Amino acid sequence: MIARTPVSPVNAARLRDIESLADPEGGEVQIGCPESIAAFLALVIERLATHSPHMRFSVQQVHWPATDFPELRERKADIVLGRLVTLPAHGQVTNDIAAEVLFDDPFSVVIGKSSRWAQVEEIGLADLVDASWVCTPLDVLAGRFLAEAFEREGLKPPTPKVATSSIHLRNHLAGTGQHVAVLPRSALKLNAERFGLRELPLKLTDKPSPVAVMTLKDRTLTPAVEAFVTCATVLPARMVTVPAEL
């Protein structure tokens, strides 16, 4: 029996890229994406699947906020959708990772339509000190913005009733009307009708919360990947505001 040498992830990716070039209307796109952007990703995939029925997608969950991109460097992903801590300078986040900002995705304070605060015309954070909060831990991006907002008003930040990174759990609990959640605005807009959500008129921060698509600079994009990036760039225009890059 002849022993087979395992194919490295880099060589496997190169073989897949060559196969994709031979099938410009099909091919596979390997995507890294955190759950907080999954609703937007689903919108992109739905649009591409309609116009390019032979295209395939492989999605893996990545950590956020994005600070390093091993999935790209190890060629386990063609692209990574990520929420950045700051706007990328000169179209890159590192010397070898290019970044294109798709939209600014600020965090919203969200309740269900049956919430007792749904009919209140004017509301401030002081009114929500004792609310049942559902958000990320206070040392993670959304939770940190919430804590800072309370501190700016001289209030003690609330201890989350439920501390979670799960968007689905935040959607569901806020939708019951019994909890107040912090959600990315894109997730709110794409899920508001399904879960019966509405946004309270509260601004947590002026800091940007850019969502970007990252690619490896020295890797040629296949037609399928280019089509994905183009679609992801165009779709947000109707949904969100794109911040100016540095």
Between 49 and 12, residue with greater pLDDT: 49
Residue 206: how many CB atoms within 10 A of its CB? 6
Q: Strand 92-94's sheet: what is its strand order?
A: 56-61, 28-33, 79-83, 210-216, 97-104, 92-94
**What's the chain's average pLDDT?**
86
The pLDDT value given to residue 99: 93
Report the predicted TM-score, pTM, of the whole model to 2 decimal places: 0.80
Euclidean distance between CA atoms 19 and 210, whole angstroms: 33
Residue 245 reports pLDDT greater than 80: no
Quick: pLDDT tens for 109-157: 999 999 999 988 899 999 999 999 999 999 888 999 999 999 999 999 9
Quick: pLDDT tens for 176-233: 999 999 999 999 998 999 999 999 999 999 988 899 999 999 888 999 999 999 999 9
Euclidean distance between CA atoms 51 and 63, whole angstroms: 30
